[in-house]
Amino acid sequence: MTAGGDTAAFSTLYDRVTPWVIGLVRRILRNPAQSEEVTQEVMVDVWRTATRYDAGRGSAHAWILTIAHRRAVDRVRSEQAAADRTELAGIRSAEVDFDQVADTVTTRLEGEQVRRCLGALTDLQRESIELAYYNGYTYPEVAQRLGAKLPTIKARMRDGLIRLRDCLGTTDGGIRHG
Amino acid sequence: MAEPDIHTLTGPYVLDALPADERIRFEAHLTECAFCTTEVAELREAAVKLAGQVANPPPPALKASVLAAIDHMRQLPPLVAGESGAEPPARRRFSRRSVLALAAAALAVAASGGIAIDQYRDRTDAVQATDRMTSVLAQPDARTVHGPVSGGGQATVVVSPRADAAVVVLRDLPKLPADRTWQLWMIDPGKTAHSVGLAAGDLTQVLNGSVNGMVAFGLTVEPSGGSPRPSTPAAAMISMT
């Protein structure tokens, strides 16, 4: 039973991160059965590659959600390539449904902070980031949807994330003046 | 790689928004751009916070399914060799430390993630059965045994002596005639089989009844409605000791 300690640790890890993983995957894929399948692939992958996680290069949380996001996006794109693109585009709403995002179960403190920081972005920064992160669009697709130039969208994604990073990083504890 | 604006690709890269060819090119650039590597790591910590906005509970059966999938699955060896790489026990210790470290690191999100979990735990109208499954799977002493089913498929049992309960996962079972059913058994040390439920096909559920003092899990094919005791040879017999 050498693997006992591993399994118990993994079980704890699973309980902590899977709500985040499946929430993100569902948001991108929309299809519940596919989302479970991809979530299972992600968590099995986490188990298999846990030995290669390097704490010096980022949080465990970021490592796992990066795997999850990449997989969900790859799945959406491979299906999109196969299926009728316009039909799928219809299913995946063009509008960024911010209320729907905000309404879902979320953490009280961090959720508010993230929402406030998102609110501090320009519309173009926020829409670019959300269309890519929650819907899995590439930046050329985002540019087309928002009617903006490619270099503009690339730049807004980056400066938007930088602003988000600075906002989240400088408001530790959730208490802020003003 | 002297493109003037390649550094601005950190944003689309972190959002997985680069088309495949540009992703490959940027990843090659990353290996030689320390500034970009740092920025990617930082922006990634910010980006993943967006996932918290859409967190919601997984179906409890998914955990059983994942635990069944990783049972006996080998972990990859670490990329960077440890102090002594050669002997298997050392590597095993290393891998356990890694998973524990990963779990510990993930606990760092407990302050935020934990709140989310408690919140929706109150909100879900999960049936008792799924709550019970979740609680068995969460037991620290839960361990997994599994075995093949004759005719095809796999049976996995997650047993917790502490909870005196077990979750069974039956996967890829062969289809039975309409007048037959799968019957699940717990075998005691005197080799008497106690029925713990029926199954039409693949399932994930908490076994009915006590597991402590039992030595094996058994699976047979029985007439519809089940039998008081096994009437056919076991399709699966899995030792739990």
Residue B132 belongs to a domain? no
Verify that B64 and B33 share a domain, yes or no: no
The answer to whether the Cβ–Cβ distance between A133 and B10 falls below 8 Å is no
The shortest C-alpha distance from A123 to chain B (Å) reads 16
pTM: 0.63
Helices (H) and strands (E) in chain A, counts: 9, 0
User: What tens-digit pLDDT sequence spans chain B (241 residues)?
Assistant: 445 578 889 999 999 999 999 999 999 999 988 899 999 999 999 999 999 888 888 998 999 999 988 887 777 766 554 443 333 333 333 344 455 555 555 544 433 343 334 334 443 433 455 667 777 777 777 787 888 888 888 888 888 888 888 888 888 888 888 899 999 999 888 888 888 888 888 877 788 778 888 888 999 999 988 988 888 888 888 888 7
DSSP state letter for B77:
P
The number of distinct structural domains making up chain B is: 3
ipTM, 2 dp: 0.81
Given B42, B51, B100, which is nearest A20 (Cβ)? B51
The answer to whether the Cβ–Cβ distance between A69 and B16 falls below 8 Å is yes
Q: What is the pLDDT of residues A151-167, one digit of tens each?
A: 999 999 999 999 999 99
B106 interaction partners in chain A (CB closer than 8 Å): 12-13, 16-17, 60-61, 64
B115 interaction partners in chain A (CB closer than 8 Å): 107-109
Cα(B148)–Cα(B237) distance, rounded to whole angstroms? 9
Most A CBs within 10 Å, among B6, B50, B73, to test the A interface? B50
Residue B197 belongs to a domain? yes
Residue A134 has pLDDT above 90, yes or no: yes
Q: Look up residue B8 and give its two tokens.
A: 């601005």
Cα(A110)–Cα(B113) distance, rounded to whole angstroms? 9
Terminal CA-to-CA distance of chain A, rounded, Å?
Answer: 56
Verify that B230 and B156 share a domain, yes or no: yes
Q: Do domains A1-92 and A94-178 have the same CATH topology?
A: no
Cα(A63)–Cα(B48) distance, rounded to whole angstroms? 9
Which pLDDT score, from 0 to 100, does residue B134 have? 72
Q: In what order do the strands lie in the sheet with B236-239?
A: B193-199, B180-187, B216-223, B236-239
Q: Look up residue B239 and give its two tokens.
A: 């030792």
CA torsion, ordered B15, B17, B19, B21, to nearest 10 deg: -30
Given B70, B108, B116, which is nearest A59 (Cβ)? B108
The shortest C-alpha distance from A178 to chain B (Å) reads 23
DSSP state letter for A138:
-
Given A1, A15, A165, which is nearest B46 (Cβ)? A165
Verify that B103 and B147 share a domain, yes or no: no
Band the pLDDT of A83: cuts 50, 70, 90: low
Q: Of the given ranges (A21-35, A88-102, B126-140), which has the lowest mean pLDDT?
A: A88-102
Asked if B228 and B195 count as a contact pair (C-beta separation under 8 A), the reply is: yes
Verify that B154 and B106 share a domain, yes or no: no
Among the candidates B37, B52, B67, a domain finishes at B52
Verify that B235 and B158 share a domain, yes or no: yes
Closest alpha carbon to A168 in B115, B10, B46, B54: B46
Which pLDDT score, from 0 to 100, does residue B86 have? 38
Which pLDDT score, from 0 to 100, does residue B183 have? 92
> Count of A–B CB contacts within 8 Å?
282
> Which sequence spans correspond to the domains of chain A?
1-92, 94-178
Closest alpha carbon to A17 in B57, B15, B68, B135: B57
DSSP state letter for B18:
S
Among the candidates B67, B91, B126, a domain finishes at B126
Cα(A19)–Cα(A35) distance, rounded to whole angstroms? 12
- What is the CATH architecture of A94-178? Orthogonal Bundle (1.10)
Burial of A45 (0-12, 13-18, 19+ CB in 10 A): middle
The answer to whether the Cβ–Cβ distance between A7 and B66 falls below 8 Å is no
Verify that B47 and B65 share a domain, yes or no: no
Asked if A125 and A163 count as a contact pair (C-beta separation under 8 A), the reply is: yes
Band the pLDDT of A121: cuts 50, 70, 90: very high
A80 interaction partners in chain B (CB closer than 8 Å): none
- Computed over its alpha carbons, how large is the radius of gyration of chain A? 18
The third-level CATH classification (topology) of the domain covering A1-92 is Rna Polymerase Sigma Factor; Chain: A (1.10.1740)
Q: Look up residue B194 and give its two tokens.
A: 């106690």
Residue A102 has pLDDT above 60, yes or no: no
List all residues 6 or more positions away from B26 whose beta carbon is below 8 Å from its beta carbon.
B6, B9, B13, B18
| Structural domain boundaries enclosing B80 | 59-126
Verify that B152 and B223 share a domain, yes or no: yes
Dmax of chain B from CA atoms? 77
Q: Look up residue B162 and give its two tokens.
A: 């502490």
Band the pLDDT of A95: cuts 50, 70, 90: very low
Q: Are strands B165-171 and B193-199 parallel, antiparallel or unpaired?
A: unpaired
Asked if A106 and B55 count as a contact pair (C-beta separation under 8 A), the reply is: yes
Among the candidates B73, B96, B126, a domain finishes at B126
A105 interaction partners in chain B (CB closer than 8 Å): 55-57, 116, 119-120, 123
Residue B1 belongs to a domain? no
Please give the residue that has the higher pLDDT: either A49 or A172: A49
Which pLDDT score, from 0 to 100, does residue A50 have? 83
Verify that B71 and B97 share a domain, yes or no: yes
Q: What is the pLDDT of residues A36-80, one digit of tens each?
A: 999 999 999 998 888 778 777 788 889 999 999 999 999 998 876
Cα(B148)–Cα(B170) distance, rounded to whole angstroms? 10
Q: Look up residue B104 and give its two tokens.
A: 């510990």
Cα(B67)–Cα(B144) distance, rounded to whole angstroms? 8
Asked if B154 and B171 count as a contact pair (C-beta separation under 8 A), the reply is: yes
The answer to whether the Cβ–Cβ distance between A23 and B62 falls below 8 Å is no
Asked if A132 and B10 count as a contact pair (C-beta separation under 8 A), the reply is: no
